[in-house]
Structure 1
Amino acid sequence: MKRIKVLLVDDEVDFSRVLACRLERRGVDVSTASCANEAMETLRLKVMDVVLLDVKMPGRDGIRLLGEIKRLYPQIGVLMLTAHISPDLVISCQAMGASEYLLKPINADELIVKIKGVAANSN
């Protein structure tokens, strides 16, 4: 069975490292990026199935990056991650093409279920 390829984009490097390890132990190939530019470069070089995208990042935030990703790579599923939830932001992200809006911290097993669902619907 093909392993799901996930790009985790979050400026909190320690959070990314821990989450990436947890996902990899559950059979997911994870690449990480700590900013929008690094994320776009990774997407240019590698085929990804799903992007886990933090909403609040310095510089280009996750909302703007979501728009770029969906414009250039519409087939990639995007799961938004945030520590702060806002109904208006959820609606806005979903209107822009985000598959779901998830609250941090998230249980890795629950996240795997979400990732598999998005990956199945993205191809």
Structure 2
Amino acid sequence: MDKEMEAKVLLVDDEQDFLETLSSRLELRGLKVSAVTSGEQAVSEAKEDEYDAIVVDLSMPGIDGLETLRRIKAINPDAEIIMLTGHGSVQSGVEAMKLGAGDFLQKPVELSELMARIGEARDKRMLVLQKRSQEELRKILQAKSW
């Protein structure tokens, strides 16, 4: 069994059964999971809340995974996004990475692999937030005339 990890994750996939199963398995390992079935819902969620990792299916009706990635990155450039696909190509993987995806994994994904990637995404996000906090503190201190 994987070691429990604290992370807030958004899952985006149009396959309801897959979404429910993966959500349950991740929650059993200590993750706080929100799940939506469309790219439009994912963009809305990303506007409302911050996530340690966002796991997005590449192939969805409506706005697909690449467009979802594009829109979320426009809202939050620091978002850590992991793309999942059941039938991805090298070209779509390259495109996802160019658009800012942190990872590109094939379905069915090994849970231990996904947990590791979510952990890496969370760690990268924490470093970005730490750096941002340090920069803000530095600016505040420089603005003071002590």
Bucket of the pairwise TM-score, normalised by the shorter protein: over 0.9
SS in 1 for 2:87: coil
Gaps (5+ residues) in structure 1? none
CA deviation map 1:49-83 (0-9, x unaligned): 11000000001000011011111111110000000
Q: Secondary structure at the match of 2:9?
A: strand
Determine which of 89, 113, 129 is the counterpart of 1:110: 113
How far apart, CA to CA, are the structure 1 residues paired with 2:111 and 2:27? 10
1:82 is matched with 85
SS at match of 1:102: strand
Q: What SS does the aligned partner of 2:14 have?
A: coil
Cα distance in 1, alignment partners of residues 6 and 30 from structure 2 = 7
Query: What residue number does 1:64 align with?
Result: 67
Identical aligned residues as a percent = 35
What TM-score do you get using the length of structure 1 for normalisation?
Answer: 0.94
Query: 1:101: Cα distance to partner?
Result: 0.5
Q: Which residue of structure 1 lines up, in the alignment, with residue 7 of structure 2?
A: 4
- 4+ aligned runs moved over 3 Å, structure 1: none
Alpha-carbon distance in structure 1 between the residues aligned to 2:107 and 2:117: 14
> Which is higher, the Rg of structure 1 or of structure 2?
2
3-state SS in 1 of match to 2:73 = helix
Runs of 5+ unmatched residues, structure 2: 127-146
